[in-house]
Amino acid sequence: MAERERTVMPPRGGIFVPKTQVMDAADLRRAVTRIAHEIVERNHGVDDVALIGLQTGGVPLAHRLHDALRTIGADQMGSRTDVPLGSLDVAFYRDDIGLRPVLPEAVTDIPFDLTGMTVVLVDDVLFTGRTVRAALNALNDYGRPLAVQLAVMIDRGHRQLPIRPDFVGKNVPTRFDEQVDVADDGVTIGEIARPQP
C-alpha cells in the first residue's frame, strides 16, 4: 500500500474495517501461478524479463511471482530461471507532492541495468493509475527498458489516466471511497472508519 497506508492508517487517518473477502489464500496462490505463466507466455520465456515491485504492496507480490517463475522451470523459460528482481519507491515522482503527505517507505533497490529489458511492474492494487504513472517516470531515470508491462493482483477500476494492466489477478468493482487490502492470506474490501472529531 506504499505511502497511501500512512495516510489512511492511524494516527493520520482512520482504521481499516474489513467488509468482504474477495480472495482467500488459495485464490491468491492460484492467481500468482497463473500470472507467472502468462508472463512466460507473453514474453516467449523470461530471458530479458525483470520484475520490479512497487513499494510497499507490490514488493511481496513481486517476490511471490519471482518464486513462481522459478518453479515453472527452465524447460519452458529458455536459458534463465532466476529473473532479476528489484523494488521501486515512487514517492519523489508523484504528482500530488505538496497536496498530501508523501514520504518514501523504503529505499529503491534496482541492482541491475534496465536498458533493453522487459520490465514487469508489480503492484497489489490498480486504482487511479497515478502510482503507475509515477513509476513509469521513475524507471526512465534508471535506464531505457525495451518494454514495460504491468501486473496487479486487483484491478478495482476508477482509472484517472490512460493506463491498463497486462496481467490481472482479479477484477473487483469497488466504490471510490472503499479500500482494498491485499495480504498474504487473502484480499479484503473494507472501509476506513474515521474517529469522530
* Closer of 75 and 99 to another protein (Cβ): 99
Shortest Cβ 100–another protein spacing (Å): 5
* Closer of 129 and 186 to another protein (Cβ): 129
Shortest Cβ 137–another protein spacing (Å): 7
Shortest Cβ 8–another protein spacing (Å): 6
* Closer of 44 and 100 to another protein (Cβ): 100
Shortest Cβ 40–another protein spacing (Å): 27
* Closer of 59 and 77 to another protein (Cβ): 59
CA nearest 110: which of 143, 134, 78, 136?
143
In angstroms, rounded to a whole number, what is the distance separating the alpha carbons of residues 139 and 11? 32
Does residue 145 contact residue 119 with C-beta atoms inside 8 Å?
yes
Q: Is 129 left (phi over 0), alpha (psi -120 to 50) or beta?
A: left
CB atoms within 10 A of CB 23: 20
Residues in contact with another protein by CB under 8 A are 1, 4, 7-8, 12-13, 89, 91-93, 96-104, 106-109, 125-128, 130-131, 137, 141-142, 156, 158, 176-180, 191-192
Burial 172-197 (b: 16+ CB within 10 A, else e): bebeeebbbbbeeebbbbbeeeeeee
Shortest Cβ 184–another protein spacing (Å): 18
* Closer of 1 and 52 to another protein (Cβ): 1
Shortest Cβ 178–another protein spacing (Å): 8
In angstroms, rounded to a whole number, what is the distance separating the alpha carbons of residues 112 and 87? 11
